[in-house]
Amino acid sequence: MSNIILIGFMGSGKTTFGKWLAGSWNMGFCDTDELIEAKEDRTINDIFSKKGEEYFRDLETEMIKALIDERVDRVPQNMGLTESAVISVGGGLPVRPVNRELMHRLGICVYLRTSKEELVRRLQSDTTRPLLAGGRLEEKISSLMAARRDIYESVADLILDTDNMSFEAMADTVKRTLAQRKL
């Protein structure tokens, strides 16, 4: 089976759903943010504040290449990607065109689309995302969303509107799509 790559805005549930899906389908799971934090041995907040966003974006590109190459020496936890896996990628990773091309080589891209209202609700007390720190959360989400919506939609092989969808229903839709496309 193809790898399943979960994309979407911060707070769209990529990691939570990804872990659940991998568990119920008995697949491997990895999350580029977690892999980067483990490799760098520091938090994303720390990477952004000490090294800046561009440095983090370079790490994301390097990580997605490492996953394609199954270069486990460069992937801190040996993910065993010889088996297909569910891979959750950071919300900003699809913004770089090169990453979009790499994601398509890595697997099928599933966009977890979530309404702004739901994102605001989920991210209200979050302190782990540097791009949302300070200022008005709703405005930050709106402007990042406006810049990214078309990118997410264009890269997606499948879009799931997650606001009122159960994990079971989401998984069924993914399964049907994979079967239709013989992936």
Residues that bind ligand S3P (CB under 6 A): 10, 14, 33, 44, 90-92, 129-131
* Closer of 92 and 107 to ligand S3P (Cβ): 92
**Measured from the CB of residue 181, what is the shortest distance to ligand S3P in angstroms?**
26
**Measured from the CB of residue 14, what is the shortest distance to ligand S3P in angstroms?**
6
* Closer of 61 and 183 to ligand S3P (Cβ): 61
**Measured from the CB of residue 5, what is the shortest distance to ligand S3P in angstroms?**
13
Contact 171, 25 (CB under 8 A): yes
Burial per residue of 142-162, b for 16 or more beta-carbon CB atoms within 10 angstroms, e otherwise: eebeeebeebbeebbbbbbeb
Which segments within the chain are labelled E, that is strand? 3-7, 28-31, 85-88, 107-113, 158-161
- Among 160, 182, 162, residue whose Cα is nearest residue 173: 160
* Closer of 90 and 107 to ligand S3P (Cβ): 90
* Closer of 33 and 157 to ligand S3P (Cβ): 33
Sheet strand arrangement including 107-113: 28-31, 85-88, 3-7, 107-113, 158-161
- β-pairing, 28-31 vs 158-161, is unpaired
**Measured from the CB of residue 127, what is the shortest distance to ligand S3P in angstroms?**
11
Rounded CA-CA distance 14/106 in Å is 17
* Closer of 76 and 130 to ligand S3P (Cβ): 130
**Measured from the CB of residue 22, what is the shortest distance to ligand S3P in angstroms?**
15
